[in-house]
Structure 1
Amino acid sequence: MTIDGTSVALIGAGLTAGLSAVGSAWGVGLAGKATSAVLSEKPNLFGQMLVLQALPGTQGFYGFIAMFLALGRINAATSISIAQALQLIGALLPVMFGELISAYWQGVASAGAAQMVAKQPESFGRAVIIPALVETYAILSLLATIILLGGVTL
């Protein structure tokens, strides 16, 4: 079997979706541990806890968006060299690492926000801003990848 540029490019697209999904699973799990503890004592806070737990899941969606954008470029190309595939992987790196890491830290921030809401339910509006700030960097990672993909020649 020969490794060609298309294969390498597809590995990059797959890693993009995979690493983003791993980050989201990690972050949602961390937040879920904290929100479950809150809900065991205050089930009336379910709506607020659901929002806080779901926030780290967005990074997985951003990774899938980047993967689909990359697949569109890969499928439109007649042939892809290894060098071109490496360009594509380079353009996908912001999403690969940005989503993985920001999802984890957003889960940590959501867990802290859950504790804040458990003690002061009226503070939900302020508490949700804490993990939302981490979202900024997830969005910037996606935007960086979109811009970089525009510079990749396949």
Structure 2
Amino acid sequence: MEQNWGIFLAYAGVAVAVLFAGYGSAFGVGLAGQAASGVVTEDPGKFGKSVILAALPGTQGIYGFVIGMLMFTKLSGAEQLTVLQGLQYLIAGFPIGIVGWLSGIWQGRVVVASMGILAKRPEESTKGIIYAGMVETYAILAFVISFFLVNNIR
């Protein structure tokens, strides 16, 4: 029975990493896409720059997916898994899952504001990318910690 709980907890860790980070990205990209649609309605020539901005919150979901796949790959050959090992996988999913969720939403909000820069001063739109990148930093840090945690499970 303990082996089953270990596997269950490990797969819960995969789900935490992928689902939460993916939700944050979907929410953030959704917000950004709504704002981008307004900008492009006024000036279709700003489509290219708006797509770059709108795509930025999507990276958190990618980070969560990579950690989830890393965990899944490590689990695919496991015949036995203790509850402690399962808990380690679960805990390893939390940094990118939670930070990816929240930073995806907040990055989407920053991108919405940055669409105002694009709408009024398109030559300054790089500044909006920099603002959004500042939020990205914390998703990257969470990704690195989750990566180290997963690779430290024996």
TM-score interval w.r.t. the shorter chain?
over 0.9
Displacement of 1:43 after TM fit? 1.2
3-state SS, counterpart of residue 4 of structure 1: helix
What is the percent sequence identity of the aligned residues?
36
Runs ≥4 residues deviating over 4 A: none
Instruction: Give the corresponding residue for 2:125.
Output: 124
Map 1:4-153 onto structure 2 (within 5 A). Answer: 4-153=5-154
Using structure 2 for the length normalisation, give the TM-score.
Answer: 0.93
Separation (CA, whole Å) in 1 of partners of 2:68 and 2:130: 28
Displacement of 1:57 after TM fit? 0.6
Separation (CA, whole Å) in 2 of partners of 1:126 and 1:15: 33
3-state SS, counterpart of residue 75 of structure 2: helix
Q: Which runs of 5+ in 1 are unaligned?
A: none
Separation (CA, whole Å) in 2 of partners of 1:71 and 1:115: 41
Q: Deviations over 1:49-86 (max 9, x none)?
A: 00111110111111110001111221232311112111
Using structure 1 for the length normalisation, give the TM-score.
Answer: 0.93
3-state SS, counterpart of residue 80 of structure 1: coil
Separation (CA, whole Å) in 2 of partners of 1:34 and 1:59: 19
Q: RMSD value over aligned CA atoms? A: 1.5
Separation (CA, whole Å) in 2 of partners of 1:126 and 1:46: 17
Displacement of 1:23 after TM fit? 0.7
Separation (CA, whole Å) in 1 of partners of 2:131 and 2:67: 25
Worse-superposed segment, 64-73 or 2-11: 2-11
